[in-house]
Protein backbone atom coordinates (compact mmCIF):
# COMPACT_ATOMS: atom_id res chain seq x y z
CA UNK A 1 0.00 0.00 0.00
CA UNK A 2 1.10 3.57 -0.73
CA UNK A 3 2.47 5.35 2.35
CA UNK A 4 -0.01 8.08 3.21
CA UNK A 5 -0.87 10.79 5.72
CA UNK A 6 -4.21 12.29 6.66
CA UNK A 7 -4.40 16.08 6.87
CA UNK A 8 -7.39 18.02 8.18
CA UNK A 9 -8.65 21.41 6.90
CA UNK A 10 -9.31 24.58 8.87
CA UNK A 11 -11.93 27.28 8.43
CA UNK A 12 -13.14 28.27 4.99
CA UNK A 13 -14.34 24.99 3.49
CA UNK A 14 -17.64 24.84 5.37
CA UNK A 15 -20.93 24.73 3.44
CA UNK A 16 -24.56 24.03 4.24
CA UNK A 17 -25.28 20.32 3.75
CA UNK A 18 -21.59 19.35 3.65
CA UNK A 19 -22.34 15.95 5.22
CA UNK A 20 -25.48 15.19 3.18
CA UNK A 21 -23.63 13.03 0.64
CA UNK A 22 -22.94 10.45 3.39
CA UNK A 23 -26.70 9.86 3.57
CA UNK A 24 -27.74 8.04 6.72
CA UNK A 25 -24.35 6.40 7.28
CA UNK A 26 -24.48 5.17 10.90
CA UNK A 27 -20.94 6.36 11.68
CA UNK A 28 -21.78 9.91 10.58
CA UNK A 29 -25.03 9.86 12.57
CA UNK A 30 -23.20 8.62 15.67
CA UNK A 31 -20.50 11.30 15.29
CA UNK A 32 -23.11 14.06 15.00
CA UNK A 33 -24.99 12.73 18.02
CA UNK A 34 -21.79 12.56 20.07
CA UNK A 35 -20.85 16.15 19.22
CA UNK A 36 -24.38 17.43 19.81
CA UNK A 37 -24.45 15.83 23.26
CA UNK A 38 -21.07 17.32 24.14
CA UNK A 39 -22.06 20.81 23.01
CA UNK A 40 -25.68 20.81 24.12
CA UNK A 41 -27.06 21.73 20.70
CA UNK A 42 -28.14 20.05 17.46
CA UNK A 43 -24.99 20.17 15.34
CA UNK A 44 -26.57 17.93 12.68
CA UNK A 45 -29.34 20.46 12.09
CA UNK A 46 -26.86 23.36 11.89
CA UNK A 47 -24.75 21.54 9.28
CA UNK A 48 -27.74 20.29 7.27
CA UNK A 49 -29.87 23.43 7.31
CA UNK A 50 -27.47 26.30 8.02
CA UNK A 51 -28.21 29.02 7.15
CA UNK A 52 -24.90 29.92 5.49
CA UNK A 53 -24.57 33.01 7.69
CA UNK A 54 -24.82 30.88 10.83
CA UNK A 55 -22.21 28.41 9.56
CA UNK A 56 -19.94 31.35 8.75
CA UNK A 57 -19.85 32.56 12.35
CA UNK A 58 -16.47 31.59 13.80
CA UNK A 59 -18.10 30.12 16.90
CA UNK A 60 -20.01 27.72 14.63
CA UNK A 61 -17.48 27.27 11.82
CA UNK A 62 -14.77 25.81 14.04
CA UNK A 63 -16.90 23.09 15.65
CA UNK A 64 -18.73 22.10 12.44
CA UNK A 65 -15.44 21.73 10.56
CA UNK A 66 -14.08 19.59 13.37
CA UNK A 67 -17.16 17.36 13.45
CA UNK A 68 -17.32 16.99 9.66
CA UNK A 69 -13.64 16.04 9.43
CA UNK A 70 -13.85 13.54 12.28
CA UNK A 71 -16.96 12.00 10.71
CA UNK A 72 -15.14 11.46 7.41
CA UNK A 73 -12.14 9.93 9.21
CA UNK A 74 -14.34 7.55 11.18
CA UNK A 75 -16.15 6.46 8.02
CA UNK A 76 -12.76 5.79 6.39
CA UNK A 77 -11.81 3.45 9.24
CA UNK A 78 -15.26 1.84 9.37
CA UNK A 79 -15.09 1.11 5.63
CA UNK A 80 -11.81 -0.75 6.05
CA UNK A 81 -9.38 2.10 5.43
CA UNK A 82 -5.91 1.72 6.94
CA UNK A 83 -4.52 3.95 9.69
CA UNK A 84 -2.33 6.74 8.23
CA UNK A 85 1.40 6.87 8.95
CA UNK A 86 1.13 10.45 10.24
CA UNK A 87 -1.54 13.15 10.69
CA UNK A 88 -1.56 16.96 10.71
CA UNK A 89 -4.11 19.74 10.55
CA UNK A 90 -4.11 23.24 9.08
CA UNK A 91 -4.86 25.75 11.84
CA UNK A 92 -8.13 24.60 13.44
CA UNK A 93 -7.65 21.27 11.64
CA UNK A 94 -5.00 20.35 14.20
CA UNK A 95 -7.83 19.62 16.63
CA UNK A 96 -9.35 17.16 14.14
CA UNK A 97 -5.90 15.57 13.87
CA UNK A 98 -5.71 15.30 17.67
CA UNK A 99 -9.01 13.39 17.67
CA UNK A 100 -7.82 11.14 14.83
CA UNK A 101 -4.59 10.42 16.73
CA UNK A 102 -6.48 9.58 19.93
CA UNK A 103 -5.07 12.46 22.01
CA UNK A 104 -8.54 14.00 22.45
CA UNK A 105 -12.01 12.50 22.21
CA UNK A 106 -14.57 14.26 20.04
CA UNK A 107 -16.58 14.95 23.20
CA UNK A 108 -13.56 16.84 24.56
CA UNK A 109 -12.58 18.57 21.33
CA UNK A 110 -15.97 19.96 20.22
CA UNK A 111 -16.59 22.18 23.29
CA UNK A 112 -12.89 23.09 23.39
CA UNK A 113 -12.98 24.31 19.79
CA UNK A 114 -16.19 26.27 20.45
CA UNK A 115 -14.47 27.93 23.43
CA UNK A 116 -11.39 28.69 21.28
CA UNK A 117 -13.57 30.26 18.60
CA UNK A 118 -15.45 32.44 21.10
CA UNK A 119 -12.23 33.57 22.76
CA UNK A 120 -10.79 34.51 19.36
CA UNK A 121 -13.90 36.47 18.42
CA UNK A 122 -13.91 38.26 21.77
CA UNK A 123 -10.22 39.21 21.51
CA UNK A 124 -10.66 41.62 18.61
CA UNK A 125 -13.95 43.47 17.95
CA UNK A 126 -15.57 42.62 14.59
CA UNK A 127 -14.39 45.06 11.94
CA UNK A 128 -11.14 46.08 13.63
CA UNK A 129 -9.05 43.12 12.45
CA UNK A 130 -8.47 41.73 8.97
CA UNK A 131 -6.74 39.03 6.93
CA UNK A 132 -5.62 38.90 3.30
CA UNK A 133 -4.11 36.28 1.01
CA UNK A 134 -0.99 37.43 -0.84
CA UNK A 135 -0.50 35.56 -4.11
CA UNK A 136 2.52 35.28 -6.36
CA UNK A 137 5.16 36.42 -3.89
CA UNK A 138 7.72 34.52 -1.83
CA UNK A 139 7.16 34.30 1.93
CA UNK A 140 10.33 36.24 2.79
CA UNK A 141 9.19 39.17 0.64
CA UNK A 142 5.75 39.09 2.28
CA UNK A 143 7.38 39.24 5.72
CA UNK A 144 9.55 42.17 4.62
CA UNK A 145 6.55 43.97 3.11
CA UNK A 146 4.57 43.59 6.34
CA UNK A 147 7.46 45.14 8.28
CA UNK A 148 7.64 47.98 5.75
CA UNK A 149 3.89 48.63 6.03
CA UNK A 150 3.88 48.52 9.83
CA UNK A 151 6.80 50.95 10.00
CA UNK A 152 4.75 53.60 8.20
CA UNK A 153 2.57 53.93 11.29
CA UNK A 154 5.52 54.82 13.53
CA UNK A 155 7.25 52.95 16.34
CA UNK A 156 4.64 53.91 18.96
CA UNK A 157 1.66 52.75 16.90
CA UNK A 158 -0.52 49.82 17.94
CA UNK A 159 -1.19 48.90 14.30
CA UNK A 160 -0.03 45.34 13.56
CA UNK A 161 0.35 43.24 10.40
CA UNK A 162 2.09 39.86 10.24
CA UNK A 163 2.51 36.86 7.96
CA UNK A 164 0.40 34.15 9.62
CA UNK A 165 -0.29 31.28 7.18
CA UNK A 166 2.51 29.93 5.00
CA UNK A 167 0.21 27.94 2.74
CA UNK A 168 2.32 27.22 -0.31
CA UNK A 169 5.37 28.79 -1.99
CA UNK A 170 3.20 31.38 -3.77
CA UNK A 171 0.52 32.02 -1.15
CA UNK A 172 1.01 33.60 2.25
CA UNK A 173 -1.82 34.95 4.39
CA UNK A 174 -1.32 38.12 6.43
CA UNK A 175 -3.35 39.28 9.44
CA UNK A 176 -3.55 42.11 11.93
CA UNK A 177 -5.33 45.38 12.50
CA UNK A 178 -7.53 46.49 9.58
CA UNK A 179 -5.56 49.63 8.69
CA UNK A 180 -2.22 47.83 8.80
CA UNK A 181 -3.44 44.92 6.65
CA UNK A 182 -4.84 47.36 4.07
CA UNK A 183 -1.53 49.25 4.03
CA UNK A 184 0.42 45.99 3.69
CA UNK A 185 -1.75 44.98 0.71
CA UNK A 186 -0.82 48.28 -1.00
CA UNK A 187 2.87 47.85 -0.22
CA UNK A 188 2.99 44.20 -1.29
CA UNK A 189 1.23 44.87 -4.60
CA UNK A 190 3.65 47.73 -5.24
CA UNK A 191 6.51 45.35 -4.42
CA UNK A 192 5.37 42.80 -7.00
CA UNK A 193 2.67 40.58 -5.49
CA UNK A 194 0.26 39.34 -8.16
CA UNK A 195 -2.81 39.76 -5.95
CA UNK A 196 -3.76 40.76 -2.42
CA UNK A 197 -7.17 39.33 -1.60
CA UNK A 198 -9.03 40.39 1.56
CA UNK A 199 -10.48 37.30 3.29
CA UNK A 200 -14.07 37.18 4.61
CA UNK A 201 -13.15 36.43 8.22
CA UNK A 202 -14.27 37.96 11.49
CA UNK A 203 -10.92 38.06 13.31
CA UNK A 204 -7.16 38.25 12.53
CA UNK A 205 -6.43 34.58 13.26
CA UNK A 206 -2.90 33.47 14.18
CA UNK A 207 -1.68 37.05 14.63
CA UNK A 208 -0.27 38.44 17.88
CA UNK A 209 -3.63 40.19 18.39
CA UNK A 210 -4.98 36.74 19.33
CA UNK A 211 -2.75 36.55 22.43
CA UNK A 212 -5.65 37.42 24.83
CA UNK A 213 -7.67 34.56 23.30
CA UNK A 214 -4.72 32.21 23.66
CA UNK A 215 -4.35 33.11 27.33
CA UNK A 216 -7.98 32.15 27.94
CA UNK A 217 -7.50 28.96 25.93
CA UNK A 218 -4.40 28.09 27.96
CA UNK A 219 -6.50 27.75 31.12
CA UNK A 220 -9.00 25.51 29.34
CA UNK A 221 -6.22 23.33 27.91
CA UNK A 222 -4.67 22.97 31.36
CA UNK A 223 -7.93 21.45 32.60
CA UNK A 224 -8.17 19.01 29.67
CA UNK A 225 -6.83 15.46 29.91
CA UNK A 226 -4.67 14.41 26.96
CA UNK A 227 -4.19 10.74 26.07
CA UNK A 228 -1.01 9.34 24.45
CA UNK A 229 -1.00 9.76 20.66
CA UNK A 230 -1.72 6.58 18.69
CA UNK A 231 -0.53 8.21 15.43
CA UNK A 232 2.34 10.72 15.14
CA UNK A 233 1.03 14.28 14.67
CA UNK A 234 3.07 17.07 13.08
CA UNK A 235 1.99 20.34 14.68
CA UNK A 236 1.75 23.66 12.82
CA UNK A 237 3.56 25.96 15.22
CA UNK A 238 6.86 24.08 15.65
CA UNK A 239 6.59 21.54 12.78
CA UNK A 240 7.38 18.89 15.38
CA UNK A 241 5.89 15.69 16.74
CA UNK A 242 5.23 15.95 20.47
CA UNK A 243 4.32 13.10 22.80
CA UNK A 244 4.36 14.92 26.16
CA UNK A 245 0.89 16.25 27.11
CA UNK A 246 2.22 19.55 28.46
CA UNK A 247 4.21 20.17 25.28
CA UNK A 248 1.10 19.45 23.18
CA UNK A 249 -0.90 21.90 25.32
CA UNK A 250 1.79 24.56 24.95
CA UNK A 251 1.89 24.11 21.18
CA UNK A 252 -1.91 24.53 20.95
CA UNK A 253 -1.68 27.64 23.12
CA UNK A 254 1.02 29.22 20.94
CA UNK A 255 -0.68 28.11 17.73
CA UNK A 256 -3.61 30.42 18.50
CA UNK A 257 -1.42 33.52 18.10
CA UNK A 258 1.42 32.11 15.97
CA UNK A 259 1.80 31.25 12.29
CA UNK A 260 0.66 28.11 10.51
CA UNK A 261 3.86 26.75 8.92
CA UNK A 262 2.08 24.51 6.43
CA UNK A 263 4.80 24.40 3.76
CA UNK A 264 7.22 23.06 6.38
CA UNK A 265 4.60 20.65 7.77
CA UNK A 266 4.18 19.07 4.34
CA UNK A 267 7.96 18.76 3.99
CA UNK A 268 8.14 17.10 7.43
CA UNK A 269 5.41 14.65 6.45
CA UNK A 270 7.26 13.77 3.23
CA UNK A 271 10.45 13.23 5.24
CA UNK A 272 8.66 10.39 7.04
CA UNK A 273 8.37 8.46 3.78
CA UNK A 274 4.86 9.63 2.86
CA UNK A 275 3.98 10.07 -0.81
CA UNK A 276 0.24 10.84 -0.60
CA UNK A 277 -1.60 13.34 1.61
CA UNK A 278 -5.32 12.68 2.03
CA UNK A 279 -7.32 15.77 2.96
CA UNK A 280 -10.01 14.45 5.28
CA UNK A 281 -13.02 16.73 5.59
CA UNK A 282 -14.97 19.27 3.54
CA UNK A 283 -13.28 20.86 0.56
CA UNK A 284 -10.12 20.35 -1.49
CA UNK A 285 -7.95 23.25 -0.30
CA UNK A 286 -5.13 21.23 1.25
CA UNK A 287 -5.13 18.69 -1.57
CA UNK A 288 -4.51 21.53 -4.00
CA UNK A 289 -1.78 23.06 -1.84
CA UNK A 290 0.05 19.73 -1.63
CA UNK A 291 0.96 19.68 -5.33
CA UNK A 292 1.98 23.35 -5.27
CA UNK A 293 4.25 22.72 -2.29
CA UNK A 294 5.90 19.59 -3.72
CA UNK A 295 5.24 18.24 -7.21
CA UNK A 296 6.43 14.78 -6.11
CA UNK A 297 3.54 14.46 -3.65
CA UNK A 298 -0.06 13.50 -4.38
CA UNK A 299 -2.96 15.29 -2.65
CA UNK A 300 -6.36 13.61 -2.54
CA UNK A 301 -9.63 14.88 -1.00
CA UNK A 302 -11.91 12.64 1.07
CA UNK A 303 -15.30 14.18 1.86
CA UNK A 304 -18.02 11.86 0.51
CA UNK A 305 -18.54 8.22 -0.56
CA UNK A 306 -17.25 8.82 -4.11
CA UNK A 307 -14.01 10.48 -2.98
CA UNK A 308 -13.52 7.79 -0.33
CA UNK A 309 -13.68 5.14 -3.08
CA UNK A 310 -11.18 7.15 -5.14
CA UNK A 311 -8.75 7.36 -2.20
CA UNK A 312 -9.04 3.62 -1.55
CA UNK A 313 -8.29 2.89 -5.20
CA UNK A 314 -5.35 5.32 -5.30
CA UNK A 315 -3.74 3.89 -2.16
CA UNK A 316 -4.22 0.23 -3.04
Q: Report the distance separating Cα 285 and Cα 165, nearest Å.
A: 13
| HSE (side-chain half, CA atoms, 13 Å) at 235 | 23
Catalytic status, residue 36: no
Catalytic status, residue 91: yes
Q: Residue 79 gets which letter from DSSP?
A: T
Phi, psi of 193 (to 5 degrees): -65, 140
* Ordered alpha helix ranges (H), the chain: 26-39, 43-49, 52-55, 58-78, 93-100, 106-123, 139-151, 178-190, 211-222, 245-255, 262-270, 285-293, 305-315
Question: Which of these is catalytic: 68, 90, 96, 206?
Answer: 206
Q: Report the distance separating Cα 69 and Cα 281, nearest Å.
A: 4
Residue 49 CB neighbour total at 10 angstroms: 12
Strand, coil or helix: 242: coil
> Residue 270 is inside which H or E element, if any?
helix 262-270
Question: Which of these is catalytic: 13, 68, 90, 91?
Answer: 91
Q: Which residues are catalytic?
A: 91, 206
Amino acid sequence: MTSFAFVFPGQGSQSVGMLDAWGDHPVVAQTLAEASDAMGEDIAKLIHEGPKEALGLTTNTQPVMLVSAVAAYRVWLAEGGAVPRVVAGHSLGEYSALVASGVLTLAQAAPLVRFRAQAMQDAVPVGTGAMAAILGMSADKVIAGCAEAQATFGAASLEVVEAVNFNDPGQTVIAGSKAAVEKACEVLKANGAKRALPLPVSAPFHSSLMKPAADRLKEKLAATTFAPAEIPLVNNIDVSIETDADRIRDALYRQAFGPVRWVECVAAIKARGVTTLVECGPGKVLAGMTKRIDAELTGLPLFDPASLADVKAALA
